[in-house]
Structure 1
Amino acid sequence: MQTQWQKIGGVAAFFEAFAYIVGFSVMLTMLQPAGGASATPEQQLGHILSMSALFKAWNIVIYVVFGAVLAVLVIALHARLASGAEMLMRVASAFGLIWSGLVIATGMIANVGLSTVAKLYIEDPRSATVAWRTLNAVQDGLGGGVELVGGLWVIVVSVVALRLAALPRSLNYVGICHRHGWCAHPDPAPWRTGRGFRHRSDCLVCLARDCVDIASGGHWSGA
């Protein structure tokens, strides 16, 4: 059963990393409005609405499906590390599962909110833009602006793995330091499409690490 969960966790981690690659590619190409970051909020919203089907599909992949698969990865890591630090991994897994729920909620709110904003945009683009920015603030509060919950999960898992010498030591330090930086210093950049998704991108290194280790079922001991 343990080996089976390691394989399932490895597949989940590979999917998470793949979702980032696809998500970034779409975000930086098709979802970028003319003018890029210099585009006004009204122009950004107009571009999103013109590609609403793609935007909703993008949200489903990088938030809803990502969050669901994240829950599997959390359980797999728990099974992988809990034998050496049961209480710490209970804390870590609690944060991980909460983060999974927040990520799913973020994507669902974005898609439902976009449908409402689209109707308002026909009558009053300015009011629609205000509503979309307000909606984006809610998304950021759930997990896009600071990523506190996800950061705590990665930090605790990295600490446990470091203590058990279960994963590469250097990457455990990366997980601790990098995620601590995001928790302590939220991004003050102005609103723009996919900001919360970019804030989750610093987990990609940790996820890639998990891919190799979980799928192999081996124990790393080096630095």
Structure 2
Amino acid sequence: MKAALENYQARMQRVLDHIDQHLDDDLGLEALSGVAAFSKYHFHRQFTSTFGVSVHRYVQLARMKRASYRLAESDAQSVTDIAMDAGYDAPDAFARAFRQRFGQSPSSFRKSPDWGSWLMAFGPLEKARNTLMQIIFEHDDVTIRDVPPTPVAIMEHRGDRATLQDTIQRFIAWRKAAGLSPETSPTFNIFRSEREPAVPADYS
């Protein structure tokens, strides 16, 4: 029974990982049920039952999350291009969906993101991704890489996780001012506390 459950969870985790890594590809029901190795009907029903959100809604949220990051992090990509990458045929449809979800237009969000509304909007996505966190990973699942010495700039966040986006926004503003592009200067996130510590202020 335990082995069957672990196999089932691994299949679902494989689907979430596939979505994250292929946001520009076909993420329809047929393609994703194939990744999970389930029939379309069974996969659709089980995905919704497991994560509390339909697979179509999950994909929409994942693409919208990426779009919001692209808006906030750089002015290089146009709103139209971001809308197309998010799966919308026209920028006005994207703008309506964006405003409905965040209470801001894409251009307004780009200038001054309301991270509190942003955090609330992605509650269903966060909940879905946390559902399978109890899976135990083996040593073979970890990749250790040797990299050359790399100078880094550090910005620390300490305090309630709900305010994390404020720190991220300060980091993005610093990176823009320093002329450091995400394409040439990667960002590393190091979590030093539990995901949800007993005392919210201990989140680091």
Q: TM-score, normalised by structure 2?
A: 0.29
Q: TM-score, normalised by structure 1?
A: 0.28
* Larger proportion of helix: 1
